[in-house]
Structure 1
Amino acid sequence: MSAGSVQQFQESLSRLDTPSTVVTPEEFETELAEIIEPPAVGAELAFDGHSLSGLPVTLGPSPSQLREATTGVTGSRLSIASLGTVVVESSTDGDEFVALYPEFHVVVVKESEIRSTLSEAFEWLRSEFAAGRQSFVLATGPSSTGDMGALVQGVHGPERVHIVIVRDDE
């Protein structure tokens, strides 16, 4: 994906009051460790070259660890630059719970997984559905609702979100 897509993604995230950090593969672990607020839980990242195993993150958390966690860390194999949206796959590793339960969600995105538009994202989703992967959560910014009058964040998911964009190896 082009640097323009990263910039467009960050601009969309900024409009959603969602901070983002762009890192090189070499900076990944150090930067992520600084962003995480313990106690943290996570689901192993679904792309090669990066892992949460060296970080202060409990992988495969129990229900009690999930309840006690401040931070949940997941990966996203698809992001939509024009919307500031990340796509978290529901899996047996608990990605969905890790993404939605803690008050702070940190999402790791690879630069090459950012699509510019919703149309491009639908092409990716069609191929995933054809491969039998059919359960995804599309998240845009912190959880919020206006059902009760004023906008309230964190009612149905995390109050805060931070996106870590990992540059592709050059």
Structure 2
Amino acid sequence: MSAGSVHEFQQSLARLDTASTVVSPDEFETELKDIIETPAVGAALPFDDLSLSELPVQLEPSPAQLREAVTGVTGARMSIASLGTVAVESRSQGDEFVALYPEFHVVVVRESDIRATLSDAFTWLRAEFEAGRQSLILATGPSSTGDMGALVQGVHGPEQVHIVIIRDNESQ
């Protein structure tokens, strides 16, 4: 993925009042420690070389831990630069619950998993569906609703979102 797509993704996120940080794989744990507000819950990241195990994050949280958590940390194997959208999978590791219950959602995405447009994302989604992975949440910014008049954030999900973009090794 080009640096231009990362820049466009960050611009889209900024328009959505969503914070973002770009880090190398080596900076990942240190950066997350600074971002996470405890108590925190998480789902195992869908990346072989990145883990939450050394961070102050409860993996495989109980329902009580989900209710008490301030931060939820998940990974996303796809995002859309033009929209500031991430795709959170509904896996047995609990990604969906971790993403929606805490008031603060931290999403980890790789630079190479940023798709430029919705059309590019549909190509990825088609391959995922054909592989049998058919349950995803497409999330764009903090949860919000205007059903009752004024726009209110955090009604159906997190009030705040922070995206951590992991630079690809070849672009460091």
Match of 1:157 in 2: 157
CA offsets, 1:10-51, max 9 Å, x none?
A: 000000010100001110000011000000000000012100
SS at match of 1:50: coil
SS at match of 1:109: strand
Which consecutive residues of structure 2, in runs of 5 or more, have no partner in the other structure? none
SS at match of 2:33: helix
> Among the aligned pairs, what percent are the same residue?
78
Structure 1 residue 98: deviation in Å?
A: 0.1
SS at match of 1:64: helix
Structure 1 residue 90: deviation in Å?
A: 0.3
The 2-side partners of 1:24 and 1:133 are apart by 28
Match of 1:51 in 2: 51
Give the letter for the 1:127 counterpart: A
Match of 2:8 in 1: 8
SS at match of 1:74: strand
SS at match of 2:137: strand
Give the letter for the 2:137 counterpart: V
TM-score, normalized by length of structure 2?
A: 0.98
The 1-side partners of 2:19 and 2:168 are apart by 20
SS at match of 2:26: coil
Match of 1:84 in 2: 84
- Cα root mean square deviation, aligned: 0.4
Match of 2:109 in 1: 109
Q: Map 1:87-166 to 2 at 5 A.
A: 87-166=87-166
The 1-side partners of 2:48 and 2:168 are apart by 12
SS at match of 1:56: coil
Q: Map 1:58-73 to 2 at 5 A.
A: 58-73=58-73
List structure 1 runs of 4+ shifted beyond 2 angstroms. none
SS at match of 1:26: helix
SS at match of 2:51: coil
TM-score, normalized by length of structure 1?
A: 0.99
